[in-house]
Structures are given as structure tokens and as C-alpha cells.
Amino acid sequence: MNIKVKNLSKSFKTQNVLKNLTIDFPSNLTTTVVGPSGTGKSVMLKLITGLFEADSGSILFDNIDFTNSTKEVRSSICRKIGFLFQGAALFDSITVLENVMFPLIYSEKKDLSNSVMVERAREELKKVDMLDYENALPGEISIGMRKRVGIARAMITKPEILLFDEPNTGLDPLVGQEIYDLIKDLKRESKFTGIIVSHELPEVYQVSDKIVMLYGGDVHFDGSVSEFENSENPVVKQFKNGDIEGPIKPNQ
Amino acid sequence: MIKRISSLGNGFVDYLNALGESWVFVFKALSEAFEAPYEIKLFIKQLYVIGVQSISVVALVGGFTGAVLAVQGEYTLSQFGASAYTGSAVALSLIRELGPVLTALMVNGRAGSSMTAELGIMKISEQIDALKAMGINPIHHLITPRLLAGTISVPLLTAIFITVGIGGGYLVGVGTLDLAAGTFISVMKQSVTPTDVISGLVKSLIFGFCLTWISCFRGWKCGFGAVGVNKATTSAVVTSSVCILVLDYFLTAILTSMFLN
Ligand SMILES: Nc1ncnc2c1ncn2[C@@H]1O[C@H](COP(=O)(O)OP(=O)(O)O)[C@@H](O)[C@H]1O
Ligand SMILES: [Mg+2]
């Protein structure tokens, strides 16, 4: 499924977070959106899933306009999206297994029997190597494990679109690499349009087919990984090198 | 000076905004009760958390309240040579006033605050966003079951409070104050009327509804971080407690005048 964001704007009170954003997320490829903290990367993901309403602009899924669709069309699109939240956002009063089953239990098709749902959830847990922890509560496992369970929960509906909000922030390099390996496995085994939000350079290149750089609410780069690596754009260069001096001002 | 007045004005506008939002919020939660799928399991879970888990503390407080009422009632009434009426004093105070109010305050402290904290943490850890992203309406899933369970639990717990309270009053009155057992019960039966029971019931229903409403709304509107959860919880407990006591006065006035006519 192809996703197009067109002239998207969003502000909170007086703060203009996204200004006229236009990005193309090609079908079955993974696009990584990079940019300094606070530039509105998470806000963009939440606009795409309908968690926020855009002030203006449109979001197209295979040319169906999400922003002007009926509730039914919107929720049918929502069900095709898997979302890995920054802190995994597992429900902390239920077990790991129940978390993974959750989208099935509360999805529209209620015809699955409990044992089938358990079976499916175990399959997904096995893929992320968390089967041993199926009876643990989310509070009892580490953040890296929670993110793996979050991936299993996102994958159980076999989504056509997968969104990852900073899959590696807050993880040590080893656990971070495990998550990247997992994303690579997912890309190999199933077809989906991926959007990853991250500021982990250069690690995130390994799972990216395309890079978009946001800064100050605008797109400053849109191209392939190798183009990004070789880009001489001053904003891109400063961000890649982590320079203090340059066009990017902190806390903007 | 002008700045101060304008900030006062802004504060007032914010307050009115929140008040309006809280009505929209509770209206949505109530209308969701009639929308399929009916989350019976979630409702029963909340009945358990709010109701069943409060039984022991409500019974304990009820028992001692009844006992104190017997001692105080007997002392006051004996000054007029009317200590035989201690049974009526205990029962009427519990049914009309102390049962509904103290039960609501206990449930507020025990379940209301934890509801606010739980919803607040769910909000700041993006669990509510996760529900929405799965196409699940979080009001339907989280708020409606709590609101219904809270509204139903408080009257039931009040009944337990009153029953145990009368038992406590009886034990103290008959056991240590040497009141006649038969008289204690018979004056009680004579003086308590259906309207007393109805007004106690109406009060406790309204208290239950309001305290769950306030607790849920504060959690729902919780600010960021641990500070946000902390603030929301404190404010929910204080607001609900004050509401219960203020409402109690008005409800007593309204119900009394209604039944007297
Ligand atoms: N719900 C919200 N209400 C008000 N402001 C918000 C909200 N969510 C995000 N913002 C603001 O939008 C800006 C971008 O945030 P975010 O998208 O989280 O940045 P990041 O690129 O680090 O993910 C921040 O300045 C933040 O304060
Ligand atoms: Mg973010």
C-alpha cells in the first residue's frame, strides 16, 4: 500500500509543528524519517494513523483520501496499520500473551476461537523470541523485550503498513541491533510499507530503502540512502556529523 | 495589575473549558453504554476492582461508625431520658447520612484515586493512543465500564456499610451500654421509613456516579510525566471529596423537602 502525504500542516496552540509537508512513502519499501528531536516526527506518524487531525492537507492510502473519508473507511484503513510506539505502549494490566492477542480479540472479526488466537499470538511471540515470557506482565520485562512484544502485537493482524516510532531509542547498542535484525527479518518474510522514525545514524541505514529528513516542520532531504550519505546539503551534513555549528539550532 | 486580572480571567476561561469538556466526556461515556460490543467482561472486572475489593474496608469503617454512633447517641439521648431511642438514632444517621457519605469517601480514596492514576499512566505511556490506533474507542473500552461499575458499586457498598454499622451499634448498645435488645430493634423498625432508605439510595447513586466521573476525567486529562499523574490524582481525590460533601448538603435539602410534601 502506497502512502502519500500532501501539503500536511499541523500546529498546537501557537506552535507550528508541521508546515506543508509533502512526502511519498512507496509501496512495500521502508522509508526512514530522520530529524532532530521535537521536529514533529511523532506528530507526523500520529497524523497518518488518525490519532491527530491535520489542520490542512491530505493523507492518501493508495489514492484514498484518509482525511476526508467516512468513519468506516478510516477504521478499515486503521486496521491495516501496525504501530510500534516509542515506549512499546503495552497494556500493563494484562500479560504479554494477552497483549499480543489483544488486536485479534477486539478486531471486527470475532469469529476466531480463543485457542486459535492463542496459537496465532504464540506464533508471533516466537518470531520475536519472547515465547518464554508469555505469562509475564509488561512491567516485569526490560524495555528491549517490551519493544519486541510490541512488534509481535503490531504484526499479529498482518498489517500492510508498519510504523515504528524510534524503535531503538533508550536501548543499548546490542539490544538496538537485535531490533534492527528483527525488522530485517520482517522485511524478508512479509510485505509491508514501512515508516521508521529515528535519529540513529548511521545504524538505521541498514533497514531503510529511502530517507526523508525533517527539520523545522519542512522536508530538507528526500532520496536514497546513498544519496543521503553523500549529501552536501548543509542541514543534512550538520545532522549527520552531529556538529554544533550550522543551520540547525537546538530547541527550535 | 492588568496582567494579574487577565491571568485570573484566563484561569477562569480554562476552568469553564474543562468543565464543558467534562460534560461532553461523561455524555460520550454514557452513550457508549448503548453501543455494541457490550464489554461485559470489562464491566465485571471493574465491579470487582471498585466494589468487591472495597468490601472489607467499607465493612470495617461501617462497623466502627455504628459503634461510635451508639455511644454518642446514647449519651445525648440519655440527657433527655430517651436512651431507649438509641437504635433509631443509629439507624437513621447511617441510612440517611453517614452510610452514603462515608462509603463514597472510602471508595473515592481507595478506588477513585487508583482509577485516576491508572488512566493517567495509560495516557502518558501512549496506551490510550495504542487503543485508538487499533481502531478501539478508548472511552467505550476504558471509561464506560468504570462509570457504570462505580455508579452501581457505591449503593451496594453503602448497603453493606449500613448493615454492618447497625450490627456494630447493636453490639455496643446492647453489649456495653445495657440497652434492651428488643427495644433497640423495635424502635429502629418504627422510625425508619421507606423514604429514608430511598433518599439514602439516591444519594449514594449520585455520589458513585460523580466520584467515578471526576476520577476518570482527571486521569483522561492527565498532564505529562510523573508530575502530571501526581497532580491529577491529588486533584481528583480532593475534587471528588469536596463534591460529595457539597452535593450531600444540597441533596439532603432537596430530598427532605420533596418527601415532606
Ligand atoms: N499532544 C500534543 N499537544 C501539544 N503539543 C504537542 C503534542 N504532541 C507533540 N507536541 C509538540 O509538537 C512538537 C513535536 O513533537 P514530536 O512529534 O513528539 O517530536 P519528535 O520529532 O521528537 O518526535 C513538540 O514541540 C511537542 O511539544
Ligand atoms: Mg518522537
ipTM of the complex, rounded to two decimals: 0.88
B117 domain residue, yes or no: yes
Mutate to test the pocket of ligand 1, among A43, A84, A164, A199 (most ligand atoms within 8 A of CB): A43
Burial class (CB in 10 A: 0-12, 13-18, 19+), A47: buried
| Rg over CA atoms, chain B | 22
A106, A131, A156 - which closes a domain:
A156
- CATH code for position A219: 3.40.50.300
Region B61-79 average pLDDT: 94
B198 domain residue, yes or no: yes
- Which chain B residues are within 8 Å of A85, Cβ to Cβ? 126, 129-130
Res A249: pLDDT: 80
Res A251: pLDDT: 63
For the cut 60, the answer to whether the pLDDT of residue B116 exceeds it is yes
Are A27 and A72 found together in one domain? Answer: yes
A156, A188, A207 - which closes a domain:
A156
A161 SS3 class: strand
pLDDT per residue over A92-104, tens digit each?
999 999 999 999 8
pLDDT per residue over A58-68, tens digit each?
999 998 888 88
A87 domain residue, yes or no: no
Atom of ligand 1 nearest to the CA of A86: 23
Are A76 and A199 found together in one domain? Answer: yes
For every residue of A53-85, DSSP letters joined together read: --SEEEEEETTEESTTS-HHHHHHHHTTEEEE-
Res B102: pLDDT: 97
Single out the residue of A164, A148, A65 nearest to residue A100, CA to CA: A148
Query: Which ligand sits nearest to residue A213's alpha carbon?
Result: 1
A30 domain residue, yes or no: yes
Res B97: pLDDT: 93
For the cut 70, the answer to whether the pLDDT of residue A21 exceeds it is yes
Whole-model pTM: value is 0.88
A126 domain residue, yes or no: yes
| Amino acid letter, B192 | V
Higher-scoring residue by pLDDT: B70, A109: B70
| Dist. CA A110–CA B36, nearest whole Å | 13
Res A252: pLDDT: 52
Query: Which ligand sits nearest to residue B129's alpha carbon?
Result: 1
Res B142: pLDDT: 95
pLDDT per residue over B205-254, tens digit each?
999 999 999 999 999 999 989 999 999 999 999 999 999 999 999 999 99
Res B177: pLDDT: 86
A218 domain residue, yes or no: yes
A200 domain residue, yes or no: yes
**Count of domains observed in chain B:** 1
CA distance B79 to chain A (A): 56
Are A74 and A15 found together in one domain? Answer: yes
Chain B: residue nearest A150 by CA? B130
Are A164 and A202 found together in one domain? Answer: yes
The whole domain housing A140 covers 92-156
Are A180 and A152 found together in one domain? Answer: no
A111, A138, A156 - which closes a domain:
A156
Which residue lies with its CA nearest to atom 20 of ligand 1?
A: A38
Chain A: residue nearest B124 by CA? A89
Are B134 and A103 a contacting pair at CB < 8 A? yes
CA distance B68 to chain A (A): 40
Are B126 and A50 a contacting pair at CB < 8 A? no
User: Does the CB atom of residue A12 touch ligand 1 within 6 A?
Assistant: yes
Percent of chain A with pLDDT over 70: 98
Are A175 and A70 found together in one domain? Answer: yes
Are B127 and A79 a contacting pair at CB < 8 A? no
**Count of domains observed in chain A:** 2
B32 domain residue, yes or no: no
pLDDT band per the 50, 70, 90 thresholds, residue A162: very high
Read off the C-alpha cell for B101. Answer: 457519605
A51 domain residue, yes or no: yes
Residues with CB under 5 A from ligand 2 (ion): A 42
Region A206-214 average pLDDT: 95
pLDDT band per the 50, 70, 90 thresholds, residue B11: confident
B4 domain residue, yes or no: no
Are A168 and A231 found together in one domain? Answer: yes
A85 domain residue, yes or no: no
B16 domain residue, yes or no: no
User: Does the CB atom of residue A39 touch ligand 1 within 6 A?
Assistant: yes
Res A108: pLDDT: 63
Looking at chain B from residue 238 to 257, which residues have their Cβ under 8 Å from any Cβ of chain A? none
* Average model confidence (pLDDT) across chain A: 90
For the cut 90, the answer to whether the pLDDT of residue B149 exceeds it is yes
pLDDT per residue over A171-209, tens digit each?
888 889 999 999 999 999 889 999 999 988 888 999 999
Region A82-86 average pLDDT: 92
Res B261: pLDDT: 65
The whole domain housing B142 covers 39-260
B20 domain residue, yes or no: no
Res A27: pLDDT: 94
3-state DSSP percent of chain B in helix, strand and coil, to 5: 90, 0, 10
Single out the residue of A148, A186, A162 nearest to residue B133, CA to CA: A162
Res A85: pLDDT: 92
B61 domain residue, yes or no: yes
Region B136-148 average pLDDT: 94
Are A232 and A131 found together in one domain? Answer: no
Q: Which of A48, A72, A92, A105 to mutate to test the interface with B (most CBs of B within 10 A)?
A: A92
A209 domain residue, yes or no: yes
For the cut 90, the answer to whether the pLDDT of residue B83 exceeds it is no
* Average model confidence (pLDDT) across chain B: 93
B137 interfacial to chain A (CB closer than 8 Å): no
Region B3-22 average pLDDT: 85
Are A85 and B129 a contacting pair at CB < 8 A? yes
Res B42: pLDDT: 92
Inter-residue contact B167 to B99 (CB < 8 Å): no
Are A49 and A99 found together in one domain? Answer: no
Are A165 and A251 found together in one domain? Answer: yes
A211 SS3 class: strand
A137 interfacial to chain B (CB closer than 8 Å): no
Are A70 and A110 found together in one domain? Answer: no
